[in-house]
Amino acid sequence: MSDANIKSDIDAPCTKKLKLSHDFKNVVNEKGINLKDFIPEKILNNNSSRKTVCIQGKFNGKNGVALILLEKNAFKQEDLNESGYFSKETKLITYFQNDIYGNYECYPKPSLNGVKTSIIYPATEKHITKLTLQEVHLISETPELYKTLTLPHLEKEQFDLQWVYNILEGKSEQDRVVYDNKSEKEGFVLVPDLKWDGVTKETLYLLAIVRKHGIKSLRDLDASHLPLLKTIQKEGKEAIFNKYKVTGSQLRVYLHYQPSFYHLHVHFTYLRHEAPGIYAEKSHLLDSVINNIEMMGDYYKKATLPFTIHEMDNIFKVYETNGNVQRIKPNIESIELIDK
């Protein structure tokens, strides 16, 4: 799970009101939640480049706020044939045709039209803040700023980590575990990130969640953690190759700072996949992290590290109060949904 973990590079939606049909596909999860019972209230984030949208609403007859995240699936190579997109069931609507050029809309058979759906329920204000379109700022965090501002805040405000412990303790998602090193010091569990369907190579995305408790982020790493980091690097790549036939040289292996949750984890993504959070202000390649610590054992306790914050984040208020950032008057709004 991660970034459940959808981070930004988001497009501003238009501000006009619009209708949204309540005729969602009926999907039931283990909590008995049906999408047909979801009542949309507001679009928090509509990202046209990533083909994702986050909708805030509620479930009929249930208390609490719900967030629905919809994402268009990537094309699968095995569907690009006469029994998939080019089958007799596929329909074309012509937009225009001019000489050798034509523009159409394609309607393939229903089995190819699935939309990846994530549900956060009941959602907290932190979830809503994280997934709402908003202005972003870059902080250059010195060790002193980390100790005086960031650390006290994250110890007070971080997300509940019970879902992480459920995976590590074998209580949840065990059918999704790709690899499990049970060593207390160097162990980790490798699972598909929630943003990945677990099948499509082009969007491959896994998380290595360390078993050792108490390592919150990059800032906590030092020379004593080198065996753990090298184990994750070596065994994680081997496990991915064995299961998905993606070689280590085709993987982007990295840590986020700031991470979306404060229990050390490492991201593995297919190199051709432009996953959220792979950019310079967020991502630190595991190779570079290991190399930096080998050169200086306490490198990440002394380094100035960049990270981004959003204006609705509580940590933004902390840095704003101390004069490190200045708020920008927003020029965007979420879309209110009406049903008339």
Among all chains, which residue has been given the structure tokens 């990059």?
218
**Catalytic (active site) residue 225:** no
CA distance 26 to 155: 39
Two structure tokens written together for 319 = 């840095």
State the CB neighbour count (10 A cutoff) for residue 175.
5
Nearest to 79 by CA among 124, 109, 116: 109
Tell me the C-alpha distance between 73 and 277, whole Å: 19
Residue 168 vs residues 173, 179, 180, 185, 238: alpha-carbon distances, Å: 10, 12, 9, 13, 20
Burial bucket for residue 207 (CB in 10 Å: 0-12, 13-18, 19+): buried
Rg (CA), the chain: 22
Burial class (CB in 10 A: 0-12, 13-18, 19+), 233: buried
Of the residues 137, 263, 265, 267, only one is catalytic, namely 265
Residues with a known catalytic role: 265
